[in-house]
Amino acid sequence: MNARLRQLGPGEYDVLDAVTAGLSATSRYLRFHSGIPRLTPQTRDLLAAVDGRDHLAVAAFVGAEPVGIARLIAIGDARAELAVEVVDAWQHRGIGGRLVRAVVDLGRAAGFREIVADVLADNVAMRLLFASVFPDPDVVEDGAEARLTAGVPAAPDDGREDRRWAA
Ligand SMILES: CC(C)(COP(=O)(O)OP(=O)(O)OC[C@H]1O[C@@H](n2cnc3c(N)ncnc32)[C@H](O)[C@@H]1OP(=O)(O)O)[C@@H](O)C(=O)NCCC(=O)NCCS
Protein backbone atom coordinates (compact mmCIF):
# COMPACT_ATOMS: atom_id res chain seq x y z
CA MET A 1 0.00 0.00 0.00
CA ASN A 2 1.29 3.45 -0.93
CA ALA A 3 1.79 6.13 1.68
CA ARG A 4 -0.10 9.41 1.28
CA LEU A 5 1.51 12.67 2.35
CA ARG A 6 -0.07 15.82 3.73
CA GLN A 7 1.14 18.95 5.47
CA LEU A 8 0.57 18.98 9.22
CA GLY A 9 -1.26 21.81 10.94
CA PRO A 10 -0.75 23.05 14.49
CA GLY A 11 -1.72 20.85 17.40
CA GLU A 12 -1.89 17.49 15.64
CA TYR A 13 -0.80 15.61 18.74
CA ASP A 14 -2.49 12.40 17.61
CA VAL A 15 -0.25 12.15 14.54
CA LEU A 16 2.87 13.01 16.55
CA ASP A 17 2.03 10.47 19.25
CA ALA A 18 1.28 7.69 16.76
CA VAL A 19 4.57 8.16 14.92
CA THR A 20 6.56 8.40 18.15
CA ALA A 21 4.90 5.21 19.42
CA GLY A 22 5.95 3.38 16.26
CA LEU A 23 9.66 4.12 16.73
CA SER A 24 11.83 1.42 18.23
CA ALA A 25 14.24 2.34 21.04
CA THR A 26 17.03 2.51 18.45
CA SER A 27 15.06 4.80 16.15
CA ARG A 28 14.10 7.08 19.07
CA TYR A 29 17.74 7.26 20.03
CA LEU A 30 18.78 8.14 16.48
CA ARG A 31 16.06 10.77 16.19
CA PHE A 32 16.35 12.46 19.58
CA HIS A 33 20.01 11.63 20.38
CA SER A 34 18.98 10.18 23.72
CA GLY A 35 17.27 7.07 25.01
CA ILE A 36 14.00 8.76 25.96
CA PRO A 37 11.11 6.30 26.41
CA ARG A 38 8.59 9.03 25.54
CA LEU A 39 8.49 12.70 24.63
CA THR A 40 8.52 15.17 27.50
CA PRO A 41 5.45 17.46 27.57
CA GLN A 42 7.70 20.37 26.52
CA THR A 43 9.13 18.52 23.51
CA ARG A 44 5.68 17.28 22.54
CA ASP A 45 4.31 20.84 22.61
CA LEU A 46 7.28 22.12 20.63
CA LEU A 47 6.92 19.45 17.94
CA ALA A 48 3.17 20.05 17.63
CA ALA A 49 3.64 23.83 17.31
CA VAL A 50 3.71 23.86 13.53
CA ASP A 51 2.99 27.35 12.18
CA GLY A 52 3.38 26.98 8.40
CA ARG A 53 6.14 29.59 8.31
CA ASP A 54 9.01 29.01 10.77
CA HIS A 55 8.03 25.44 11.54
CA LEU A 56 6.80 23.25 8.69
CA ALA A 57 5.91 19.58 8.86
CA VAL A 58 4.69 16.89 6.49
CA ALA A 59 3.32 13.54 7.63
CA ALA A 60 2.92 10.22 5.79
CA PHE A 61 -0.13 8.01 6.28
CA VAL A 62 -0.85 4.42 5.27
CA GLY A 63 -4.61 4.32 5.31
CA ALA A 64 -5.43 6.29 8.45
CA GLU A 65 -2.21 5.25 10.21
CA PRO A 66 0.48 7.95 10.58
CA VAL A 67 3.83 6.39 9.66
CA GLY A 68 6.30 9.27 9.45
CA ILE A 69 6.95 12.98 9.85
CA ALA A 70 9.55 15.34 8.38
CA ARG A 71 9.90 18.87 9.69
CA LEU A 72 11.88 22.04 9.14
CA ILE A 73 12.41 24.55 11.94
CA ALA A 74 13.87 27.96 11.13
CA ILE A 75 17.26 28.69 12.67
CA GLY A 76 17.81 32.13 11.11
CA ASP A 77 19.34 33.53 7.93
CA ALA A 78 16.98 31.56 5.66
CA ARG A 79 18.29 28.32 7.17
CA ALA A 80 16.18 25.53 8.63
CA GLU A 81 16.97 22.44 10.66
CA LEU A 82 15.64 19.19 9.21
CA ALA A 83 14.39 16.26 11.27
CA VAL A 84 12.62 13.15 10.03
CA GLU A 85 11.35 9.88 11.41
CA VAL A 86 9.59 6.87 9.92
CA VAL A 87 8.06 4.16 12.12
CA ASP A 88 10.17 1.03 12.07
CA ALA A 89 7.49 -1.09 10.38
CA TRP A 90 7.54 1.23 7.34
CA GLN A 91 11.24 2.02 6.99
CA HIS A 92 13.18 1.13 3.80
CA ARG A 93 10.21 1.78 1.49
CA GLY A 94 11.08 5.24 0.27
CA ILE A 95 8.82 7.09 2.73
CA GLY A 96 11.63 9.02 4.46
CA GLY A 97 12.97 10.27 1.15
CA ARG A 98 9.51 11.34 -0.02
CA LEU A 99 8.86 13.13 3.27
CA VAL A 100 12.13 15.04 3.12
CA ARG A 101 11.56 16.08 -0.50
CA ALA A 102 8.04 17.20 0.36
CA VAL A 103 9.00 19.28 3.38
CA VAL A 104 11.88 20.82 1.41
CA ASP A 105 9.37 21.80 -1.29
CA LEU A 106 7.40 23.63 1.41
CA GLY A 107 10.59 25.10 2.81
CA ARG A 108 11.61 26.45 -0.57
CA ALA A 109 8.22 28.17 -0.92
CA ALA A 110 8.61 29.56 2.63
CA GLY A 111 11.95 31.13 1.66
CA PHE A 112 14.47 28.75 3.18
CA ARG A 113 17.69 28.53 1.20
CA GLU A 114 19.78 26.14 3.29
CA ILE A 115 18.99 22.92 5.16
CA VAL A 116 20.93 21.66 8.17
CA ALA A 117 20.68 18.27 9.85
CA ASP A 118 22.55 17.35 13.01
CA VAL A 119 22.81 13.58 13.05
CA LEU A 120 24.60 10.99 15.12
CA ALA A 121 27.78 10.16 13.25
CA ASP A 122 26.84 6.48 12.95
CA ASN A 123 23.34 7.18 11.59
CA VAL A 124 24.10 5.67 8.19
CA ALA A 125 20.48 5.66 7.06
CA MET A 126 20.03 9.40 7.62
CA ARG A 127 23.38 10.27 6.11
CA LEU A 128 22.53 8.30 2.96
CA LEU A 129 19.01 9.70 2.87
CA PHE A 130 20.36 13.25 3.10
CA ALA A 131 22.86 12.59 0.32
CA SER A 132 20.13 11.05 -1.84
CA VAL A 133 18.03 14.24 -1.59
CA PHE A 134 20.81 16.86 -1.56
CA PRO A 135 23.62 16.16 -3.98
CA ASP A 136 27.05 17.06 -2.61
CA PRO A 137 26.18 18.05 0.98
CA ASP A 138 28.69 19.74 3.24
CA VAL A 139 29.63 17.40 6.10
CA VAL A 140 31.30 18.50 9.34
CA GLU A 141 32.19 15.69 11.74
CA ASP A 142 32.13 16.64 15.42
CA GLY A 143 32.85 13.60 17.55
CA ALA A 144 29.68 11.53 17.97
CA GLU A 145 27.71 13.92 15.77
CA ALA A 146 27.88 15.17 12.23
CA ARG A 147 26.37 18.36 10.79
CA LEU A 148 25.04 17.95 7.26
CA THR A 149 24.33 21.15 5.31
CA ALA A 150 23.03 21.68 1.80
CA GLY A 151 21.40 24.35 -0.32
CA VAL A 152 17.72 23.92 -1.14
CA PRO A 153 17.61 22.44 -4.64
CA ALA A 154 15.85 24.43 -7.34
CA ALA A 155 12.19 23.65 -7.88
CA PRO A 156 11.51 21.18 -10.67
CA ASP A 157 9.87 23.02 -13.59
CA ASP A 158 8.00 20.09 -15.07
CA GLY A 159 5.25 19.42 -12.51
CA ARG A 160 7.20 16.68 -10.75
CA GLU A 161 6.54 18.38 -7.43
CA ASP A 162 2.83 17.58 -7.73
CA ARG A 163 3.47 13.99 -8.68
CA ARG A 164 5.88 13.57 -5.79
CA TRP A 165 3.20 14.55 -3.30
CA ALA A 166 0.55 12.43 -4.96
CA ALA A 167 2.65 9.28 -5.48
C1 LIG B 1 16.38 7.83 8.56
C2 LIG B 1 14.96 7.34 8.24
C3 LIG B 1 14.00 8.53 8.36
C4 LIG B 1 14.95 6.81 6.79
O5 LIG B 1 13.60 6.56 6.45
P6 LIG B 1 13.25 5.46 5.36
O7 LIG B 1 11.80 5.61 5.01
O8 LIG B 1 13.69 4.13 5.82
O9 LIG B 1 14.19 5.92 4.16
P10 LIG B 1 13.97 5.63 2.62
O11 LIG B 1 13.45 4.25 2.42
O12 LIG B 1 13.18 6.75 2.02
O13 LIG B 1 15.44 5.72 2.08
C14 LIG B 1 15.93 6.92 1.52
C15 LIG B 1 17.41 6.73 1.18
O16 LIG B 1 18.14 6.60 2.36
C17 LIG B 1 19.02 5.49 2.28
N18 LIG B 1 18.74 4.59 3.39
C19 LIG B 1 17.68 4.64 4.22
N20 LIG B 1 17.80 3.70 5.19
C21 LIG B 1 18.99 3.07 4.96
C22 LIG B 1 19.71 2.05 5.65
N23 LIG B 1 19.25 1.48 6.77
N24 LIG B 1 20.89 1.65 5.13
C25 LIG B 1 21.38 2.22 4.02
N26 LIG B 1 20.75 3.20 3.34
C27 LIG B 1 19.58 3.64 3.82
C28 LIG B 1 18.89 4.87 0.97
O29 LIG B 1 20.05 5.28 0.27
C30 LIG B 1 17.67 5.50 0.35
O31 LIG B 1 18.00 5.95 -0.92
P32 LIG B 1 17.32 5.26 -2.20
O33 LIG B 1 15.87 5.64 -2.11
O34 LIG B 1 18.03 5.88 -3.34
O35 LIG B 1 17.53 3.80 -2.04
C36 LIG B 1 14.53 6.18 9.17
O37 LIG B 1 15.51 5.19 9.13
C38 LIG B 1 14.29 6.61 10.60
O39 LIG B 1 13.21 7.09 10.93
N40 LIG B 1 15.31 6.44 11.46
C41 LIG B 1 15.17 6.79 12.88
C42 LIG B 1 15.08 8.30 13.10
C43 LIG B 1 16.27 9.00 12.50
O44 LIG B 1 17.37 8.51 12.48
N45 LIG B 1 16.02 10.22 12.00
C46 LIG B 1 17.08 11.03 11.43
C47 LIG B 1 17.67 11.97 12.43
S48 LIG B 1 16.81 13.50 12.35
35 vs 90, more confident: 90
pLDDT score at 158: 55
Mean pLDDT score of the chain, rounded to an integer? 94
Mean predicted confidence (pLDDT) in 63-83: 98
Distance between Cα 96 and ligand 1 center (Å): 6
Tell whether ligand 1 has an atom less than 6 A from the beta carbon of residue 47: no
Distance between Cα 133 and ligand 1 center (Å): 11
- Candidate from 28-42, 76-90, 100-114 with smallest mean pLDDT: 28-42
pLDDT score at 162: 53
Question: Which segments within 47-163 are labelled E, that is strand?
Answer: 55-62, 65-76, 79-86, 114-120, 138-142, 145-151
Is residue 35 classed exposed, middle or buried when 0-12, 13-18 and 19+ CB atoms within 10 A define those classes?
Answer: exposed
Tell whether ligand 1 has an atom less than 6 A from the beta carbon of residue 2: no
Distance between Cα 1 and ligand 1 center (Å): 18
Please calculate the CA angle 131-52-46 and round it to the nearest 5 degrees.
80
Q: Is the pLDDT of residue 12 over 60?
A: yes
Nearest CA owner, ligand 1 atom 45: 31
| Topology, domain 4-166 | Aminopeptidase (3.40.630)
Q: Is the pLDDT of residue 156 over 80?
A: no
Calculate what percentage of the chain has a pLDDT beyond 70.
93
Q: Is the pLDDT of residue 166 over 60?
A: no
